[in-house]
Structure 1
């Protein structure tokens, strides 16, 4: 249920962060040839710690998505998959299975290791969504895997007095707690739908790394214009207490993502993200020797 509200004190921003850099997503493919846009790439991992990757996909041609993402391993981080349109079936080696549909979120903690597949359950129509990779602190990288599905009705949401609709996937916004919280990284993950000329304010701790991604229309932050499929890395300014996002002449849809940096070494080899190269070698050996399980 969406609640209409005036802006609470906890939603006010006195000084917005500025845009440090604008990044345009790169067209690529993953899985068994699924076409997607990679927005947060490996060279940005240190700057946007604790986030490791953001992929956006919007395909209307079934040939671009039907092969899906067959069995593949992960270790050392979390994946958050958010579907806008379409249906995707998840299965993993921990025995979890779920169907991700319009507006739903799948949150998976790979921990010490999991093998999973994500396969479309449709033969035509639009398939659209996002996958975000969130790092785990060193002490949790070998924890037990965890998985949870949230259908659209279970994602908390609210509407501001200005008609902005906000879905709170993680963290807290305007006194509304999201579906998931994490102590170490304190992630904020919002899907913000702004009407034409609409304005949305979100407080942010000055030490948190933050970025936003425009996936419909255009928007601006501190006078910096952002077009569709552009990401804005927000400056870490001790004097700024949050961000103010404004839509242009057309409605806009924006992902706003922020988190507490771990400030730990990052060692990545494909689907394994650890702290040292030795740990990567251990992950490869465990996977090769069947210690991740199979389904």
Structure 2
């Protein structure tokens, strides 16, 4: 067995998106800060309404999937397909843009904490033009597993522990996405399997923790994507505050990525066609 270690740290940068929502972006700051198959990872969190109240009005996507995980707050999703989902504490919105979708994500509260993450998962060329889809995953649909000292909310993928296989709310997919929210108590430890060949990262968003490796312990920085070496497991140890850590992994696609704002294709020509489709009203046809 080989423990994964940190090969790169991408500190989140403060920026804004949508209609001025304040976010921290780690993956996706530039084309050089992606982790195939993932394009972008945003953390949002504020108790100041002016930081989030304008939300993300209607906008288009093509060629990838978005995964929005709400930790605190209440967000309403609506799209051109007629889907309407209330994303609340602990819930997940898994949206496949495919050939095209137009949607909005708008806060449904005027005060209080709004906190969560949005992850962009690329699609291989063979799937970029498949029909758009949407899934509203309620908090109770996400397995909450006691593993080691931790509780692990398994949004996507599977974890093989001994003879048991634990499956998340979302399974399958050509990129084998793994998405887990790990809650560790003070000084708690956990060891989790991550299949070899999957590109992976850990993201500390609360408390303090270190990644135990074959050569010692590497401390995690808050609000940073820690890109991992290959291996078959990760080992985490929390500090005296306890910790909350995201584990995200997936099988690399290994294809060219050409992005223009909300559109992600494999060539400039495909992007130009996408823009033409959007102008002509064919993006969602």
Q: CA RMSD in A?
A: 1.5
Pairs aligned (count): 277
CA contact (8 A) 2:11 2:26 kept: yes
Q: Secondary structure at the match of 1:218?
A: strand
Cα distance in 2 for partners of 1:229, 1:53 equals 14
Quick check: 1:40 aligned with 2:31?
no
1:179 to 1:62, Cα distance in 2 relative to 1, 3 A: same
Quick check: 1:183 aligned with 2:170?
no
Shift of 1:47: 5.6
Q: TM-score, normalised by structure 1?
A: 0.91
Shift of 1:283: 0.6
Aligned mate of 1:104, from 51, 74, 91? 91
| Runs of 4+ in structure 1 over 2 Å off | 42-47
1:46 to 1:36, Cα distance in 2 relative to 1, 3 A: closer
Aligned mate of 1:130, from 88, 108, 117? 117
Match of 1:170 in 2: 156
Match of 1:267 in 2: 258
Higher fraction of strand? 2
CA contact (8 A) 1:69 1:119 kept: yes
CA contact (8 A) 1:93 1:292 kept: no
Quick check: 1:197 aligned with 2:187?
yes
Matches within 5 A, 1:1-295: 14-43=1-30, 48-162=35-149, 164-173=150-159, 174=161, 175-221=165-211, 222=213, 223-236=217-230, 240-293=231-284
CA contact (8 A) 1:219 1:246 kept: yes
Task: Provide, for residues 154-205 of structure 1, a one-character-per-residue CA deviation record: whole Å limited to 9, x for no partner.
Answer: 111211242x110000001242101112331001000000111111112122
CA contact (8 A) 2:201 2:227 kept: yes
Cα distance in 2 for partners of 1:120, 1:46 equals 28
Cα distance in 1 for partners of 2:34, 2:121 equals 13
Cα distance in 2 for partners of 1:44, 1:209 equals 17
Gaps of 5+ in 2: none
CA contact (8 A) 2:145 2:153 kept: yes
1:47 to 1:96, Cα distance in 2 relative to 1, 3 A: closer
